[in-house]
Amino acid sequence: MTEPAYRIELKPPDITAYRSGNTGIDFVTTFDSGKSGPHVLVNALTHGNELCGAIALDFLFRQGVRPARGQLTLCFANVAAYQCFDPSRPGASRFVDEDFNRVWSPQVLDGPRNTVELARARVLRPLYDTVDLLLDLHSMQHATPPLVLCGVTGRGRRLAQTVGVPQWIVSDSGHASGRRLLDYAGFADPAGVKTALLAECGQHWEYQAAVVAIDVTLRFLLAAGAIDPEFAAPHLNLEPPPDQKVIEITDAITMKGNNLVYEADYFGMEIIERRGTLIARDDDTEIRTPYDNCVLIMPSRRLRRGQTAVRLGRIVS
């Protein structure tokens, strides 16, 4: 399959004005309402080529956002990768050394390795440890409907439903290749109270991804009680959001061979009607759908052994 060529419709904002912040951590700013409430954090640039999150945070700064209660932190995460963004090679700035969103286990964070992403993660870790509610803004390789990942906790699913957008909620446990920020520490603890969501706002460089990122962020902050409705109202999409649907991931297909090839041009959110349908071959191993009406979530073309190729899920509501 030939990769589709997506137009660069977004302009990466200049975030140098936000470097100094007020927390002692570069590109991190915390606003304190002085009133009791949760510590809410909106995270952008987990991947340096995902521009919509940076645009959403830049929007909040320019609009003069302040929390109605508790604390609100705006964090640009993998800035080193973002600073490498080149429109002529837009996918090359996803990370510098390794995926920032696969390092969030104690074994990796406390281990001996040292990379650009691990160094930044270790700086940000104490900040994330103080957060009660987190929204991690992302975008996707292909132009498919936006979705929000809520992890496997019931409170994550409930928060996604309270936010109300996007239409698709995906419940999954992550990747064999490493733990996401969504799954870090208290965010994934079944008995915990901290909650994180990961919003996939659209194709990396499409204009609409930034529109979705701003809308999701405002609705997340409203759901958290972090901003007043009067602040959000002028900027929200006035169309009523569609009824949400939940997809539970049952299988995360990890590439084990040297060459994984899909049987069709899958881009994501395809519903494969029949159980046992061949969807890919990993060397000589056939990958087939495990049940009827199986949904393909974010099939990747950036394939290496040990990484997730595609996730398989069923619609439960």
Q: What percent of the chain has pLDDT over 70?
A: 99
At residue 2, does pLDDT exceed 60?
no
Mean pLDDT of the chain: 95
Q: Of 108, 164, 99, which Cα lies nearest the Cα of 138?
A: 99
Written as six digits, the tokens of 163 are 């936010």
Which structure tokens are listed for 236?
């929200």
Q: What is d(CA 232, CA 217) in angstroms, rounded to the nearest whole number?
A: 10
Q: Give 137's contacts (C-beta < 8 A, 6+ positions apart).
A: 42, 43, 44, 46, 50, 52, 53, 56, 57, 199, 201, 213, 216, 217
- Pairwise CA distance, residues 144 & 54, whole Å: 20
* Structure confidence at residue 240 (pLDDT): 79
Position 317 pLDDT exceeds 80: no
**pLDDT value at residue 128:** 98
| Average pLDDT over every residue of 255-275 | 95
Tokens 């508790």 locate to 70
pLDDT digits (tens, 9 = 90+) for 19-66: 999 999 999 999 999 999 999 999 999 999 999 999 999 999 999 999
Residues ≥6 apart with Cβ < 8 Å to 95: 47, 48, 78, 81, 116, 117
The reported pLDDT for the residue numbered 252 is 93
Percent of the chain whose pLDDT exceeds 90: 92
Q: What is the pLDDT of residue 241?
A: 81
pLDDT at 242 over 90: no
Which domains are present in the chain? 16-243 (3.40.630.10), 247-315 (2.40.50)
Neighbours of 208 (CB within 10 A): 15
Would you say 271 and 314 are in contact if contact means Cβ atoms under 8 Å apart? no
197 φ/ψ angles, rounded to the nearest 5 degrees = -125, 150
Residue 86 banded pLDDT, cuts 50, 70, 90: very high
Give the residue, 242 or 72, on which the prediction is more confident. Answer: 72
Say what the pLDDT of residue 1 is. Answer: 46
Residues 210-226 pLDDT 10s: 999 999 999 999 999 99
How high is the pLDDT of residue 302? 76
pLDDT band at 303 (very low <50, low <70, confident <90, very high): confident
**Cα 142 to Cα 68, 71, 107, 123, 298, distances in angstroms:** 36, 35, 32, 31, 8
Of 152 and 176, which is predicted with more confidence?
Answer: 152
